[in-house]
Amino acid sequence: MTGADILCETLLANGVDVCFANPGTSEMHFVAALDRQPRMRCVLGLFEGVVTGAADGYARMADKPAATLLHLGPGLANGLANLHNARRASSPVVNIVGEHASYHLAHDAPLTSDIEGLARPMSGWVRTIGSADNISGDAAQAITAARGAPGQVATLILPADAAWGEAQQDGIAVAAPARLAPVTEAKLNEAAQALRSGKRTMILLTGKALRDGALDTASRIAQFSGAALAAERMAGRIPRGAGRVAIERIPYKLESAVSFLREFEQLILIGAREPVAFFAYPGKPSRLVAPECKVMELAAPGDDLVQALENLAQALNLPTTLQPLRQERIDTGLPSGALNADAVHAVVARMMPEQAIVCDESITSGQNLLRITRGAAPHDYLPLTGGAIGLGLPMATGAAVACPGRKVISLQADGSGMYTLQALWTQAREQLDVVTIIFANRSYAILHGELKNVGAGEAGRNARRMLDLDDPAMNWVSLAEGMGVEAVRVATTEQLGAALQSALKRRGPMLIEAVI
């Protein structure tokens, strides 16, 4: 077999059966090998940021990696922003990047670049394949690395001659299972003692600690000890809604985050990082907890977070009769008349079907989203994690590929949506069950706020020319229809309710431009 065929066989043998791709000439032998594999689902993205963002969304919902296929260094560079988001979300991704044939590199052809150097900042593991004989072992190690707790981007660089070369070595390598480190007795005792101390304590969770069973345990611990629960801002997936344990998320705004954390004397981290400000602001703190707050790590990101919670519950001798505190269903009242962001959230909260997947890149418009949808039907919430905008539409695409039986609701700011508009075409081609709601405020609204937050004053003419999107205003209905997605523009709550009801009754992609 060729090296490319062996790579396909190794991916499939290890459960990687989706490939989000934007290939070029150097990847054609791998494309041909994929063509011989009907078990592999190949999904084309018209821009590499769509490919990598879709792989992120897929991993968050499938709990396993997809493969990407990118063309040389420039193709990888186009996809780096959403690999950054995937890294921050701890999403497992097997990121395959084509390379020139090894003997061609010496000629410094126009597309030659340092692919390993480009890959390292966003990858936890990087390797260039040496020959066709190395492919299966290297691919298995890439899968092992991607799946290793808590999940990471593993970049495997495939030279063209390794892909077309005939392998002399038989056999397909098997990736090693993920190994979770146990929590040490010292950390367990420290956390248990802190929770018994009577001091105001917050438990900050992320990753697998935010799944339903683990959240039940965390809720029981919080009730017993009087601690508060919160989700790390970079948590990639949070179960929410009626019947789930209600959990707050660290706010984005610095002042709100400081206020949220001010009262706590102790912070216990379970897979999470200590919360810090997104940016530096003149005269304001970088750390969000109070200066006197003691921060302790019960479990590191690569530890067994679920078992850490179980062990903590045992150490505290929780009563077996103590039940988790679950969120009640809240029927959200609907406003009427002209739309604003909160009215959009209220309509979504009222109409959201059970087990929906909410992909959120609403940015400024989404400030009250979690509060308003708190008591909605049970759903999974997937946020922008690393702050690199342009994730929302691709993330929804990948989530829909991972969970074809669930409705995906994509809440998308108009400015960041333009970064990866091409994802709508992929949704149309694959007939993915995604309804996208565009918050059309026709500006980079968050940057208007940040201009003030950093003390730079109000926007004048030149600043507005860089921050506003209203000259000309974007026509999202035309943009979506040009990508093959049915679309409608709405300006009132009643219009939005009718459009969303129509979208939820049928399968396939639809876009609603909400003018706010």
What are the backbone dihedrals phi and psi of residue 155, each rounded to the nearest 5 degrees, phi first? -100, 120
What 3 state SS string does 371-407 have? HHCCCCCCEEEEECCCCCCCCHHHHHHHHHHHCCCCC
pLDDT at 448: 87
User: Rounded CA gap, 174 and 347, in Å?
Assistant: 48
Mean pLDDT computed over 225-237: 97
Query: Do the Cβ atoms of 210 and 174 come closer than 8 Å?
Result: no
pLDDT class of 302 with cuts at 50, 70, 90:
very high
- Beta carbons within 10 angstroms of residue 286's beta carbon: 11
Count of alpha carbons within 13 Å of 322, Cβ hemisphere only?
Answer: 16
As a whole-number percent, the residues of the chain with pLDDT over 90 amount to 94
Query: CA–CA distance from 351 to each of 63, 208, 263, 395 (Å)?
Result: 27, 28, 36, 22
- Quick check: bond before 394 cis, omega within 30? no
- CB–CB of 122/84 below 8 Å? yes
Token duo for residue 462: 């030149």
pLDDT given at position 57: 98
Nearest to 266 by CA among 196, 212, 336: 196
Place of tokens 């009907």: 38
Query: What would the pLDDT profile of 263-297 be if each residue is shown by its tens digit?
Result: 999 999 999 999 999 999 999 999 999 999 999 99
What sign does the CA torsion over 93, 98, 101, 102 have? negative
State pLDDT tens for residues 321-350: 999 999 999 998 888 999 999 999 999 999
Per-residue pLDDT tens digits for 108-145: 999 999 999 999 999 999 999 999 999 999 999 999 99
Dihedral sign of CA atoms 82, 88, 89, 91 in order: positive
d(CA 514, CA 160): 46
C-alpha gyration radius of the chain: 24
131 contacts: CB under 8 Å, gap ≥ 6: 3, 162, 165
The rounded mean pLDDT for the chain is 97
Tokens representing residue 109 in the block? 């052809």
Q: Decide if domain 3-164 falls under CATH 3.40.50.970.
A: yes
How far is the C-alpha of 385 from the C-alpha of 291, rounded, in Å? 26
Quick: pLDDT tens for 36-59: 999 999 999 999 999 999 999 999
pLDDT value, residue 453: 87
SS3 166: strand
HEC profile for 435-456? EEEEEECCECHHHHHHHHHCCC
Q: What percent of the chain has pLDDT over 70?
A: 100
Q: For residue 453, which phi and psi values (nearest 5 degrees)?
A: -60, -35
CB 67 within 8 A of CB 20: yes
Do 341-515 and 185-315 have the same topology in CATH? Answer: yes
pLDDT surpassing 80 at residue 169 = no
- The residue extents of the domains of the chain are 3-164, 185-315, 341-515
pLDDT tens track for 413-458: 999 999 999 999 999 999 999 999 999 998 888 888 899 888 898 9
Is 191 in contact with 155 (CB distance < 8 Å)? no
Q: Which residue has the tokens 């694959």?
A: 430
In the chain the first and final C-alpha atoms are separated, in Å, by: 57
Fold of 185-315: Rossmann fold (3.40.50)
Q: Is the peptide bond before 110 cis (omega within 30 degrees of 0)?
A: no
pTM beyond 0.85: yes
The model's pLDDT over 16-37, given as tens digits with 9 standing for 90+, comes to 999 999 999 999 999 999 999 9
Indicate the CATH number for domain 341-515: 3.40.50.970
| CA 170 and chain centroid, separation | 37
